Amino acid sequence: MSVIRVDNSERAGFETALEELKGFFSELSKEKGRPLTYNLLTYGCQLNESDSEKLAGMLSDMGLEKSSQSGELAPADVVVMNTCSVRENADKHLFGNLGVFKSFCKNGDTSVIAVCGCMMKVPENVNKIKSSYPYVNLVFDPQQLHRFPILLRDAVRKQKLSVSICGEDYIAEDSYFPIERQRRFRALVPIMYGCNNFCTYCIVPYARGRERSRSFSEIMKELEDIASQGYREVMLLGQNVNSYGKGNEDGKTFADILDEASKITEFSRIRFMSSHPKDLSDRVIKIMAERPNVEKHLHLALQSGSDAVLKRMNRPYTAEGYMRIADNFRNMVKGGSLTTDIIVGFPGETEEDFVKTLEICKRAAFDACFTFQYSIRPGTKAAEFPDQIPSDVVTERFGRLTELTNALSEESCKRLVGQTKEVLIEGISKAGNGVYTGRTITNHLVNFTIPDEIRNQEGFCEDSLEGRLCNVDIQYSRPYSVDGVMERFTDGE
């Protein structure tokens, strides 16, 4: 399979298709006697979220408004489902939801349905749509995001299900797309796509294709733009950001991106996701330690504490090797936080293997763990492994692991109590009641109140809090967050 850089010369066709769709939807809007809306459903990781910001930009350019009805199953004239296939429960939603939208198609509330994302790289899913959901208009894969307007225009013209799954791994720069960023405080910036690691349990390399990196200069241009638009936090994305640049000619590495990005002083937070233990360089850790605007948080997936399991997972490190990196990070980035992903019940995992996972979690004192029950992904190597673990054993181990990781996370939160921490404000907390939410540079979630003397200060504006920095006196800890009271703004804005 080849990697193809999308050339801006293709944009003429892209623009024409957007214009045609704009005309088509404008006619439909006249027929329906109201503005047309879209509902974009996004599942999965931040890479999908980032793709959806581009889909949203393209849908807006077609003259559609985001549906004001809340809930994933809100009817809208155009429905786009951006799917995830990483675990079984991630792909369960799709077919149930498609069933619901059938009734919206019948009563005229919905006119166009497109399905994209990682599930579309699994042929069984596409076949099921073909056979049981023929009212879907378009199916396409994540590799062809840059063709969405063209594919949708062709599907609408044909007026029957159009399936476009390609064999190439395209890479388009962000500047190719109109992007409608979903958050005011954080800009998502993918720096690379795909994955070459083929961990034996994981569908991502099949769904997202071969690893390919964006151009260094284009990334830098985008970061400068984002900074000038007022974003204070940037999240650099890739399945394995530490191997950024392989295959590019300029020799730039992920450390170079972090180094340059950290010189953009408008950014108060530079975050990144995900890192793989095999490629994490000391230079990256050094930059994290030295630059005040690079987050002091490393998400480094461990997956298992047993060398035998790691080997069968095709994760090329040992538990001790992982601990060396963890210790190095803790020594170099003082007060930093370390989080991880763990899979329980991988084929052949014995009680002894599992106990090793518990032990390493305690040793590494993770600040937070994302724990998953192993889910068979058809098409991956591990799906064929013997010794799949019975579900009652997996559930029991998962319970023990969750108990431990909850306690570790609670400990991590407790350590913050009594300290003043700088927080980047993300908005009003889900709890409401005048409570705001934000994160420390170590990615701890902080809920806080704002005292009246700050609210009454001249220039205080409730609507422009997102993205601002403030000091919070941390007074109370919960299992996954801390509570506090704002002391003052620290960004001088």
Q: Give 185 or 254: the residue with its C-beta nearer to ligand SF4.
A: 254
The correct pick among 110, 200, 213, 240 for binding ligand SAM (CB under 6 A) is: 240
Q: Which does 85 bind (CB under 5 to 8 A by kind): ligand SF4, ligand SAM, ligand F3S, none?
A: ligand F3S
Q: How many whole angstroms separate alpha carbon 399 and alpha carbon 275?
A: 26
- Asked if residue 328 lies in contact with residue 285, where contact means CB atoms within 8 angstroms, the answer is yes
Instruction: Figure out which of the listed residues 126, 171, 204, 319 binds ligand F3S, where binding follows CB under 6 A.
Output: 204
CB of 91 to ligand SAM, least distance (A): 11
**Contacted entry of ligand SF4, ligand SAM, ligand F3S, none for residue 198, CB cut-off 5 to 8 Å set by kind:** ligand SF4
- Residue 98 interacts with which of ligand F3S, ligand SAM, ligand SF4, none, CB < 5 to 8 Å by class: none
Tokens of 382: 């591990």
Q: How far apart are CA 234 and CA 69, in angstroms?
A: 29
Q: What DSSP line would sit under 135-181, residue for residue?
A: T--EEE-GGGGGGHHHHHHHHHHHTS-EEE--SSEEE--GGGS----
Our finding on whether 312 is near ligand SAM (CB under 6 A) is no
| Residue 56 touching ligand F3S (CB under 6 A) | no
The answer to whether 203 contacts ligand F3S (rule: CB under 6 A) is yes
Binding test (CB under 6 A) with ligand F3S, winner from 37, 39, 48, 337: 48
Count CB-CB contacts under 10 A for residue 165.
14
Rounded Cα–Cα distance for residues 268 and 293 (Å): 5
Which residues sit opposite 438 in a β-bridge? 425, 446
Closest C-alpha among 302, 275, 444, 297 to residue 361: 302
310 touches ligand SAM by CB under 6 A: no
239 touches ligand SF4 by CB under 6 A? yes
If binding is defined by CB under 6 A, does position 118 make contact with ligand F3S?
A: yes
Does residue 47 belong to the site contacting ligand F3S (CB under 6 A)? yes
- In the complex, minimum distance from the CB of residue 383 to ligand SAM, in angstroms, rounded to a whole number: 9
372 is an interface residue for ligand SAM by CB under 6 A: yes
Q: How far apart are CA 60 and CA 65, in angstroms?
A: 6
Footprint on residues 245-304 left by ligand SF4 (CB under 6 A): 276
Our finding on whether 374 is near ligand SAM (CB under 6 A) is yes
Residue type, 140: F
Whichever of 103 and 281 has its CB closer to ligand SAM, that residue is 281
Closest alpha carbon to 186 in 69, 59, 295, 55: 295
Q: What span, in angstroms and rounded, lies between the C-alpha atoms of 438 and 426? A: 5
Nearer to ligand F3S, 98 or 105 (CB): 98
Question: Kind of pairing, strands 436-439 and 445-449?
Answer: antiparallel
- Give the DSSP letter string of 424-472: EEEEE-TT-TT-EEEE-TT--EEEEE--HHHHTSTT--GGG-TT-EEEE
- Comparing CB distances to ligand F3S, the nearer of 84 and 364 is 84
94 part of the interface to ligand F3S, by CB under 6 A = no
Residue whose structure tokens are 């306690």: 407
With binding defined as CB under 6 A, does residue 21 bind ligand SF4? no
Cα 273 from Cα 173, distance rounded (Å): 19
Task: Enumerate the β-bridge partners of residue 81.
Answer: 41, 115
CA distance 353 to 307: 8
- Provide, rounded to whole angstroms, the least separation between the CB of residue 199 and ligand SF4: 3
Is position 195 an interface residue for ligand SF4 (rule: CB under 6 A)?
Answer: yes
Task: Provide the β-strand partners of residue 347.
Answer: none
Which residues in this chain contact ligand SAM in the complex, by CB under 6 A? 45, 86-87, 201-202, 204, 239-240, 274, 276, 301, 303, 341, 343, 372, 374-375, 377
Q: Which parts of this chain interact with ligand SF4 (CB under 6 A)?
A: 195, 197-199, 202, 204-205, 239-240, 276
